[in-house]
Amino acid sequence: MLQRESPRSSPNMNPEYQIEMHTMTENLATLIKKRGPIRTVGVIGMGYVGIPAAALFADVPHFEHVYGFQRDSPSSGYKITMLNRGESPLKGEEPGLEELLGRVVGAGKFSCTSDFAKVAECDAVTLAIQTPFLDKKDLLPDFTPLIEGLRNVGRHLTPGTLVVLESTITPGTTAGMAREILEAESGLVAGKDFALAHAPERVMVGRLLRNIREHDRIVGGIDDLSTARAVELYAPVLTTGEVIPMTATAAEVTKTAENTFRDLQIAAVNQLALYCEAMGINVYDVRAGVASLEGEGITRAILWPGAGVGGHCLTKDTYHLERGVQVLGGELDFPAGRESLYTLARGINDFMPEHMLHLTESALAPTGKTLAGSKIALLGWAFINDSDDARNTPAEPFRDAALAAGAEVAVHDPWVDPVTSPDAPPGLLRDLDAVLRDADAVVVFAGHKEYRGLEPARVKVLCGSAHPAVVDGRNVVDPDAWIAVGFVYRGIGRGDKNRHALRG
Ligand code: SAJ
């Protein structure tokens, strides 16, 4: 039985619906057959998802041409000329990307354009456009750029084309909002005149090409024919990855759930760290003990406690999933009055920067200091170790709260560029000694490798006092070595050390 997904995605069993479904699918099947195999592909959005995707499509021998569509806007129009020169406008190391771009542009198989009319030449069009949350309090993601992309595709959509959304979206968006916009702009009907699917991206900065080739690819159509056509598009790109077909809504839930589950796992170990601090034990001993449980089905996926969770995936995908349940609006049976486990996990992870502030206050107290009037050296602004990516960094709420409490905060990060990074804080310094000089508290927020080799005696001289504080949010300093030279130590999960006597 062919299943066409509607926003309520419950298969309708009445005969008229079945006949209408069959006719629609017959029509689409005829159109696709007339087109033949996918030869021309369009990718909307030349960002860190769209560029490697377009280059890899262009590298498929039987795909004749790939258009990369990019708005010629003041902020990102420069990408068009760069890409047409075979150069990548992406920052940071992306192994193999420049070489691949040079090759496919040189072979005339890839070109970048702002002319959306060329969508009419495409057999398949994918949209890889960011969907950030403007303000997660109201759970409303900013779909504006995606809506503009859908409108541009809809205006030039021709019968028999496949449209695929790659952005992370609220479950129900493909069969709902996206289908409505494409149908309104094109006058065509999804599932009858064009195929529509969701194939969420699973790329990570620094390993874009490898991720697309090697990760399994979730592919979900609004009906079986759309799913099959999307499998035809993505299968040739995969090397070790497999295509995993399902419905569009299941694909949307898979993507948001995989990040929700990771956020949940991190919250679980963050809560364990808070418990270990309260009970006076070392969370890393407990973690090693729990992780030792291995074997069929008894393995525990215990992750790492830390100063908080940042980035553009885990901080928002839980809210997409929660909103999906609200938008799709089926009968949800759930314990009355209980908060979602998933948003509770978000709350625990978002508490960690506040806990870091409490640890800082606790480390200043033995020398009679408070946050007010103290200088804090904040080490690590990036949201992840050894990276320049600072989106939604947990260091920011910590800094804001410390400033509000009257502290002076000097921020250091060897990776985040003070000039070019859009997420760099004002006054970000690369000079670590300057940040450490006269600091009352040294607070580690990112586990950059530069901080793993800090010499406690030298740091203490720079701090210039008998008992400066050190607060370790990423388990990068050796508590005994720092305590021995006179630091007041506090560490996430280090209940075994957080009550130590003053030394040195
Ligand atoms: N974090 C912890 N403890 C951990 C792991 C992470 O506190 O054990 C923190 C990090 O410090 C960071 C945040 O969580 O602030 C997110 O870290 P992440 O490793 O999840 O990195 P992301 O946000 O780039 O997640 C991406 C996701 N990939 C995609 O969405 C395609 C995620 O699904 C991947 O699992 C993750 O990369 C990965 O494994 O690298």
Ligand 1 proximity of 310 Cβ (cutoff 6 Å) = yes
How many Cβ atoms are within 10 Å of 25's Cβ, its own excluded? 18
Ligand 1: which residue has its CA nearest to atom 19? 384
| Domain-located, residue 74 | yes
Question: Could you give the angle at which helices 15-35 and 224-234 cross, rounded to 10 degrees?
Answer: 30
Same domain, 163 and 260: no
Provide the pLDDT for residue 420: 86
**CA 110 to centroid of ligand 1, rounded, Å:** 32
Secondary structure, 3-state, 390-447: CCCCCHHHHHHHHHHCCCEEEEECCCCCCCCCCCCCCCCECCHHHHHCCCCEEEECCC
Same domain, 405 and 448: yes
Same domain, 405 and 262: yes
Ligand 1: which residue has its CA nearest to atom 11? 384
**CA 263 to centroid of ligand 1, rounded, Å:** 8
Provide the pLDDT for residue 5: 59
Cβ neighbors of 215 (< 8 A, separation 6 or more) are 202, 241
Ligand 1: which residue has its CA nearest to atom 33? 259
Ligand 1 proximity of 217 Cβ (cutoff 6 Å) = no
Q: What distance in Å separates the CA atoms of residue 221 and residue 20, rounded to the nearest whole number? A: 18
**CA 209 to centroid of ligand 1, rounded, Å:** 18
Nearest-atom number in ligand 1 for the CA of 393 is 15
CATH assignment of the domain containing 348 = 3.40.50.720
Ligand 1 proximity of 314 Cβ (cutoff 6 Å) = yes
Q: Which of 202, 221, 241 is a domain's end point?
A: 241
Ligand 1: which residue has its CA nearest to atom 14? 309
Provide the pLDDT for residue 504: 83
| Domain-located, residue 1 | no
Ligand 1: which residue has its CA nearest to atom 4? 304
Nearest-atom number in ligand 1 for the CA of 385 is 11
Same domain, 447 and 329: yes
Ligand 1 proximity of 303 Cβ (cutoff 6 Å) = yes
Q: What distance in Å separates the CA atoms of residue 252 and residue 258, rounded to the nearest whole number? A: 10
Residue at 453: amino acid letter:
G
| Domain-located, residue 400 | yes
Same domain, 237 and 258: no
Same domain, 161 and 291: no
Ligand 1 proximity of 266 Cβ (cutoff 6 Å) = yes
pLDDT by residue (tens digit) across 176-226? 999 999 999 999 999 999 999 999 999 887 899 999 999 999 999 999 999
Structure tokens at 492: 């996430």
Provide the pLDDT for residue 131: 82
| Domain-located, residue 372 | yes
Are the beta carbons of 189 and 24 closer than 8 angstroms? yes
**CA 119 to centroid of ligand 1, rounded, Å:** 35
Provide the pLDDT for residue 62: 97
**Which of 384, 389, 391 to mutate to test ligand 1, by most ligand atoms within 8 A of the CB atom?**
384
**CA 159 to centroid of ligand 1, rounded, Å:** 40
Residue at 208: amino acid letter:
L
**CA 255 to centroid of ligand 1, rounded, Å:** 14
Q: Which of 241, 273, 289 is a domain's end point?
A: 241
Residue at 130: amino acid letter:
Q
**CA 176 to centroid of ligand 1, rounded, Å:** 29
Ligand 1 proximity of 203 Cβ (cutoff 6 Å) = yes
| Domain-located, residue 6 | no
Of all helices (H) and strands (E), which one includes residue 349? Answer: helix 341-364
Ligand 1 proximity of 262 Cβ (cutoff 6 Å) = yes
Q: Which of 187, 215, 241 is a domain's end point?
A: 241
Are the beta carbons of 233 and 124 closer than 8 angstroms? yes
Nearest-atom number in ligand 1 for the CA of 201 is 31
| Domain-located, residue 453 | yes
Of 453, 456, 492, 458, nearest to 475 by C-alpha is 492
**Would the pTM of this model clear 0.85, i.e. be above it?**
yes
Provide the pLDDT for residue 15: 82
**CA 322 to centroid of ligand 1, rounded, Å:** 19
Same domain, 218 and 266: no
pLDDT by residue (tens digit) across 357-372? 999 999 999 999 999 9
Same domain, 313 and 369: yes
Residue at 20: amino acid letter:
E
Same domain, 454 and 334: yes
Ligand 1 proximity of 204 Cβ (cutoff 6 Å) = yes
Nearest-atom number in ligand 1 for the CA of 211 is 31
Residue at 448: amino acid letter:
H
Same domain, 256 and 196: no
Using a 10 angstrom Cβ sphere, with 0-12 exposed, 13-18 middle and 19 or more buried, the burial of residue 417 is: middle
Domain that holds residue 177: 15-241
Same domain, 482 and 354: yes
Nearest-atom number in ligand 1 for the CA of 310 is 15
| Domain-located, residue 321 | yes
Same domain, 208 and 262: no
Of all helices (H) and strands (E), which one includes residue 219? Answer: strand 217-221
Provide the pLDDT for residue 284: 98
Are the beta carbons of 120 and 69 closer than 8 angstroms? no
| Domain-located, residue 34 | yes
Q: How many domains does the chain divide into?
A: 2
Q: Mean pLDDT in each 10-residue stretch from start to end of the chain (504 residues)?
A: 48 77 90 97 95 98 98 90 95 90 98 98 96 71 92 98 95 96 98 98 89 96 97 97 96 97 98 98 97 87 97 91 87 95 98 98 98 98 93 97 98 94 94 98 97 97 98 98 98 98 92
Are the beta carbons of 353 and 381 closer than 8 angstroms? no
**CA 315 to centroid of ligand 1, rounded, Å:** 10
